[in-house]
Structure 1
Amino acid sequence: MKRVRPRRSRRVVVLAVVALLGISGIAACSFDGSTEEYSPDDAATAPALINGYRSVGYFPQWGVYGRQYSMKDLQDSGAAGNLSHINYAFGNIHHETLTCFQANKAQESGPDGSDGASDAWADYGMAYDAASSIAGTPDTAEQPLAGSFNQLRQLKAANPGLRAVISLGGWTWSKNFSRAAATDESRKALVSSCIDLYIKGNLPVIEGRGGDGAAAGLFDGIDIDWEWPGTDKGLEGNGVDTENDAENFRLLLQEFRAQLDAYGATTGSSYSLSAFLPANPVVIEAGGWNDPAMFEYLDFGNIQGYDLWGTWEPGLTGHQANLFDDPDDPREDGERFSVDRTVSAYLDAGIDPAQLGLGLAAFGRGWMGADSAEPWGEATGPAPGGEEPGLEDYDELLEVGEEFTDTTLGAAWRFDGDKWWSYDNPETVRLKSDYILEKGLGGGMWWDLAGNRDGSLFAVLSDQLREVPRGPARDRVMPETTVQPPSSPTITPGAATPGATTSDVPPAAEPSLSAQEAADAEPVVWEEGAVYTEGRRVIFEDTVYRTQWWTRGDVPGTEQWGPWLPVDG
């Protein structure tokens, strides 16, 4: 999860690399906010912008478990039709090799909990049956790509022009960015590994899935979610170099841009580079996020428009996504945030507004023991939440108490006499959509898609963007590419993951089972070193348990929020 978290135009013109190859019909792309439109010849190959605006949604890798949210939910709800980009969250950087990698190793607690953590099972191991597959066909044990990656491929097939982007880092997995960006050698190695893994699709073989080219053509770009260079405002244990991170970050973006363009010149495709932009002015300055030079390499960035306040301060309710400053905010000036104040920090620095997207919340931040319906009242601590205390999906808040909306501030909240929740509702989304139009921004972004299962909140933004003159967003033009899976590569079960230590790599397991096959299988006696995929049942101390996700080494019954649930029979 991410936390805090008159203009001068800078023209940046990037020639499509395919033009160098002599491929006709691909024009240069402008990011200066001009009103030029794509030619008719380009229309079929352009990304699926929403009337010239970007609508970006983050798909949480872990949403397929407890929240039971899949790519098919995006398709069936119609939400996919209101998106131009899906950011798949997240990819991690290995603590030893400082490269992109895949493994099956659970996230642990503490400053070193992200070391080697990855979820290849959710990404491309999990088997989907016909009913849960977008294509309506079951995954087989022989296919190299299953899981969310295969469903994302099917989602793109059903929504031509939709761009899939791999997001690297996030709040939990930003620990190793600083070291990976520190030298020219480490930058080149990191970027090369990320392109090889995600853009070229060369996945390590884990539990019989993956192989060279298994995910080729799936991802159309890379999103950098480094939280946060140059400052200790990120997660405890993150690597930070206060003197050099900002410049190293710029050089890292330069390296990503260079290698993406170079690879694109060989494939005839173009690959986007984007970033998640912070809200806190201290964080912005420390990382150089508002340096126009950064945007010579970035196609666009999405500004954190939420998590402006939260239950890390448990005794005071307040707005987490207010559009404008609240004059009643009792905090010191350096702790007061608003969307407008943050956007202005980027625009005043000379960033082209067309390259900026405004982040919107499909979740709420909440307190319990609140003594007033008015904001900035006393509270006793975080309210119970679905994923963590004080955090809840938008869908789960719709029936909580009474709703309040301040249209002057662009803020909404709910209060039931005890619990106080700050969130975005349809009215604040409309106000923020107007703000996007007024400021000439390139669109909006949602964290996260699983928070609104029917997509109704996302549609408020996209519907409003469709009703106005064409927007200024200009993503890199992408030639039409196949969305069919490549031919099955030769695979070696149990092969090691690049960038992972031997202890990170699970032993080869039995072929992946569909959810129904796992439910039908007889319980087996739990073994400490065995790999158990989603839905498998085991017997431990005379009790039957069912696993909610891939696990190895987690003892049934010892963790309240662990992978194992007790079941009957």
Structure 2
Amino acid sequence: MKKLFLPLLLVAAFAHADKVVVDEKFDGDLNTLWVGQNGDGTVPMNATIVDDPLRPGNKVLRFDKPVFGGDIFTKEKFPEGKYKLTFDYLGTCKSNCGGVIGITAEFPGRDYWVAGTASSGFPERIKDTGKWQSYDFDFKGRFDFHLALEQWVQSNGAGGDVYFDNIKLIQKGDGDGKLKEAAAPVIATVAAGDAPAGKGPQMVYYFTSWGNSRGYWVKNIETSGTADKATVIQYAFGNVVDNKCSVGVEKEGVGSAGLDYWNPIPTEHTLDGKEDKGDNGLFGHWNQIKQLKKKHPNLKFVISLGGWTWSKNFSDAALPANREAFVKSCIDAYIKGNVPDKNGKVVPGLAAGVFDGVDIDWEYPASQGAPGNIVRPEDKQNFTALLNEFRKQLDAAKPGYLLTIASGAPSNILAGMELDKIHKPLNWISVMTYDFNGPWSNKSGHLATLYGSSAEVTTAGALKEFVEGGVPPQKLLVGVPFYGYGWVLSKTDNNGMGQPVKGKAKGTYDEGAAGYTDIKAMPGKVFRDEKSRAVWKLDGDVMWVYDDVQAIKDKVEFVKKQNLGGIMAWDLVGDTEGELVDTVYQGLTKK
């Protein structure tokens, strides 16, 4: 990988030695150093200092109840930087008792769990052996933080079976007392042999197969003007079942072959307004896509695999024994077009020409997404190998097919990927820089902030981590939401932002969710945070967070200033009039 080394800057600051900032042996009052959630003593700590069950005469910390979001936090906050964390751990259940240790911005806030007992979702693993084990981990705090511990609620522990002792947090210094040269960030570029980045700014939008239930069909891509203003449309989603791409299945929760290509589109929703007679047996959305591409030959479509709901089986499919055959099944179906008809007979080439590549939306490698997903620590390496296999087989079919991924934004998600390796077979990475708050939140918060403190998940912060991890900027797309989330608030102080939530607002998608076009038409006063570039609407006690035209313009300018690859949006249903699509197009293509 080629790298650009920016000029070295001399810093005339003497180095400092390592400094112990926490040294807790749990031989005194727990309340001296620690506090529960909220940080003000109103929420009790579900932990007790008890006699060591294995070492007579010693006192240790025991968690009495599994919780979510952190249980005990250091009262003191420590500055971002490099640290060493050492501790002793004892888990007395059979496996995954739920012991977790990490850092968090508030009580709780943005968190980064350094180590835990689960087999996935943590950079480091601690084990439940029924014996005391000592651990020593180095980590980088990317924001000012409190040390946090808990017994995780999604574990096999029941309380009374997780113990910690001898916790020491050491702030790292350079240790030699001499002047140092500090190098500016290393920025990767696309090397010879790597898959190329997109040609020009990319304007990428998800089309959902179920969007017709909300009135959005392939025809709307044309009538809204999106077809002339997009470079790539990503079709969501394809499922992964039994270690292969599952195509030609009509079953709720498994596949939607009827909408995809089996059944005719109602005449009023076809591209030409005529009866859908199919294309040699190809009907549905896929036939309409083929017709749309004939009218707009520069517009590409890719199949997006997985998503939140259908990522369960990626981990199995990516295993070395399954990987090659899995990828072949996807290439055969979506690229070569060999798909089953209604009778289950595979028709060679029936769907050929619909898709121009593959988008992998695995949520998430080595980290838990939806409950029930299969997750392994080795997903991190297997994901890289899976992408290389996709690139190999796509190029064998015909050079030029697109291969992209969608990735989460938080640090713990990024820790499950080899950032400096995965970009090589990819044309770009779409970073899902949204859903920072939503219907699951207990207080109102921004949906997709552009800027903020290092203690928050932000668009700028997430993209910075990708670049620092070795991804060329031109292979990064900023994700923006064409939807929003709404709450009914208990209080409306601070114009509703950061206030307790008592329920979900009435939505047009689901409870608490609506498209941009719908939110724009709702009553209420619009507020904007000029620092974070976030927007929200408040009507009485009903609040909606979303991205409007100005928020999109701000992110387009960010993309241009940072020399990033473009914009990705979820999803077209929310922008029925094409207003946000036009905003992206005008901003990225016009000077």
Question: TM-score of the superposition, structure 1-length normalised?
Answer: 0.68
Contact 1:302 1:358 in 2 (8 A): yes
Shift of 1:298: 0.8
Q: Deviations over 1:18-67 (max 9, x none)?
A: xxxxxxxxxx9754xxxxxxxxxxxxxxx8x6xx2000000011111x20
Q: Does 1:300 align with 2:428?
A: yes
> Aligned pair in 2 of structure 1 residues 208, 285: CA closer, same or farther (>3 Å)?
closer
Please tell me whether residue 69 in structure 1 is matched to residue 206 in structure 2.
no
The alpha-carbon deviation at position 408 of structure 1 amounts to 2.2
Q: Residue 453 of structure 1: SS of its match in structure 2?
A: coil
Cα deviation, residue 402, structure 1: 1.3
Structure 2 vs 1, CA of residues 420 and 75 (structure 1 numbering), >3 Å: closer, same or farther? same
Identity %: 34
- The answer for the alignment partner of 1:235 in structure 2 is 370
Match of 2:582 in 1: 459
Instruction: After TM superposition, give the deviation of residue 10 of structure 1 in Å.
Output: 2.9
Name the SS of the counterpart of 2:437 in structure 1: coil
Aligned to 2:463: 343
Higher RCO (C-alpha 8 Å, min separation 6): 1
Shift in CA distance, 209/397, structure 1 to aligned 2, threshold 3 Å: farther
Query: Does residue 247 in structure 1 map to residue 381 in structure 2?
Result: yes
1:387 aligns with 2:524: no
Give the Cα–Cα distance (whole angstroms) in 2 for the partners of residues 9 and 137 of structure 1.
52
Once the two structures are superposed, the pairs formed by residues 105-124 of structure 1 within 5 Å of their partners are: 105-107=251-253, 117-124=254-261
Structure-2 residue corresponding to 1:503: none
CA contact (8 A) 1:144 1:211 kept: no
Letter in 1 for 2:568: M
Partner of 1:287: 417
Q: 1:240 to 1:196 in 2, by over 3 A?
A: same
1:323 maps to 2:501: no
| Superposition pairs of residues 11-30 of structure 1, within 5 angstroms | 11-13=189-191, 30=196
The residue type equivalent to 2:541 in the other structure is D
Aligned to 2:544, the other structure's residue is in SS state strand
Q: How does 1:308-457 map to 2 (within 5 A)?
A: 308-313=436-441, 315-325=442-452, 333=455, 336-372=456-492, 373-400=495-522, 401-457=524-580
Counterpart contact for 1:279–1:308, Cα < 8 Å: no
Q: C-alpha displacement at 1:326, in angstroms?
A: 5.7
Number of equivalenced pairs: 407
* Equivalent residue for 1:225, pick from 361, 377, 388: 361
Q: 1:142 to 1:347 in 2, by over 3 A?
A: closer
Aligned counterpart, 1:276: 406
Query: Secondary structure of the residue that 1:305 maps to in structure 2?
Result: coil
CA positional deviation for 1:208: 9.0
Select the structure that is richer in helix.
1
**Kept in 1: contact 2:244–2:330 (CA 8 A):** no
Describe the SS at the equivalent of 1:320. coil
Note the 1:35-184 alignment, pairs <5 A.
52-64=200-212, 66-94=213-241, 96-107=242-253, 117-140=254-277, 143-183=280-320
What is the distance in 2 between the residues matched to 1:442 and 1:282?
A: 23
Instruction: Give, in angstroms, the shift of residue 370 of structure 1.
Output: 4.5
Q: Helix, strand or coil: the match of 1:296? A: coil
CA apart distance, 1:309: 1.2
> Counterpart of 2:187?
9
- Alignment deviations for residues 48-90 of structure 1 (CA, whole Å, 9 cap, x no partner): x6xx2000000011111x2021010110111111100000000
Amino acid at match of 1:318: G
Query: Given residue 437 of structure 1, which amino acid in structure 2 is its aligned partner?
Result: K
Aligned to 2:186, the other structure's residue is in SS state: coil
| CA shift in 2, pair 1:14/1:258, >3 Å | farther
Deviations 1:407-446 (A, max 9, x none): 3211011111121111000011111111001110010001
Determine the C-alpha separation between the residues in 2 that align with 1:135 and 1:346.
43
Contact 1:143 1:209 in 2 (8 A): no
Shift of 1:143: 3.9
Give me the whole-angstrom Cα distance separating, in 2, the residues matched to 1:200 and 1:166.
Answer: 13
Q: Which amino acid aligns with 2:553?
A: R
SS in 2 for 1:275: strand
Q: CA RMSD in A?
A: 2.2
Match of residue 518 from structure 1: none
TM-score after normalising by structure 2: 0.66
Corresponding residue SS for 1:174: coil
Counterpart code for 1:102: G
Distance in 1 between the 2:408 and 2:271 partners? 35
Distance apart, 1:209 and its partner CA: 9.7
The whole-number CA distance in structure 1 between the counterparts of 2:349 and 2:359 is 21
Secondary structure of the corresponding residue to residue 444 of structure 1: strand
Q: How far has the Cα of 1:100 moved from its partner?
A: 3.5
> Does the aligned pair in 2 maintain the 1:145–1:210 contact within 8 Å?
no
Q: Is the 8 A contact 1:246 1:286 kept in 2?
A: yes
- Higher mean alpha-carbon deviation, 366-375 vs 157-166, is at 366-375
Shift of residue 218 of structure 1? 1.4
Query: Does the aligned pair in 2 maintain the 1:79–1:454 contact within 8 Å?
Result: no
After superposition, what is the alpha-carbon deviation per residue over 1:245-267, rounded to whole angstroms, capped at 9, x for unaligned? 10000000010011111111xxx
Give the residue type in structure 1 aligned to 2:532: L
Q: Secondary structure at the match of 1:287?
A: coil
Contact map agreement 2:489 2:496 (CA 8 A) in 1: no
What secondary structure does 2:470 align onto? coil
Q: Which amino acid aligns with 1:68?
A: G
Any idea what the Cα deviations from partners look like across 1:440-462, whole Å, max 9, x if unmatched? 00100010001110101111111
Residues 195, 14 of structure 1: alpha-carbon distance in 2 compared, 3 angstrom cutoff? farther
Q: Could you say if the C-alpha distance between residues 77 and 209 of structure 1 is closer, same or farther in structure 2, counting changes exceeding 3 Å?
A: farther
Following superposition, the deviation at residue 385 of structure 1 comes to 2.1
In structure 2, C-alpha distance between the alignment counterparts of 1:380 and 1:285, rounded to whole Å: 34
Task: Measure, in 1, the Cα distance between the counterparts of 2:477 and 2:256.
Answer: 28
Matched, 1:192 2:328: yes
Matched letter for residue 12 of structure 1:
V
Say if 1:127 and 1:465 are closer, same or farther in 2 by CA, change over 3 A: same
Between the aligned partners of 1:381 and 1:287, the Cα distance in structure 2 is 36
Provide the rounded CA distance (Å) in 1 between the counterparts of 2:187 and 2:453: 29
Flag structure 2 segments of 5+ consecutive residues without an equivalent. 1-109, 112-183
Matched residues in 1 for 2:195 and 2:323: separation? 27
Q: CA deviation at 1:353?
A: 0.5
The structure with the largest alpha-carbon Rg is 2
Q: For 2:287, what is the secondary structure of its paired residue? A: helix
Secondary structure of 1:311's match?
coil
When residues 195 and 208 of structure 1 are mapped into structure 2, their CA distance, relative to the original with a 3 A threshold, is closer
- In 2, distance between residues paired with 1:61 and 1:14? 37
Residues 197, 98 of structure 1: alpha-carbon distance in 2 compared, 3 angstrom cutoff: closer
**How far does the alpha carbon of each residue in 1:145-166 deviate from its partner, in whole angstroms, 9 at most, with x for none?**
1110011111111112111100
Aligned counterparts of 2:261 and 2:346: Cα–Cα separation in 1: 7
Q: Is 1:7–1:350's contact at 8 Å kept on the other side of the alignment? A: no
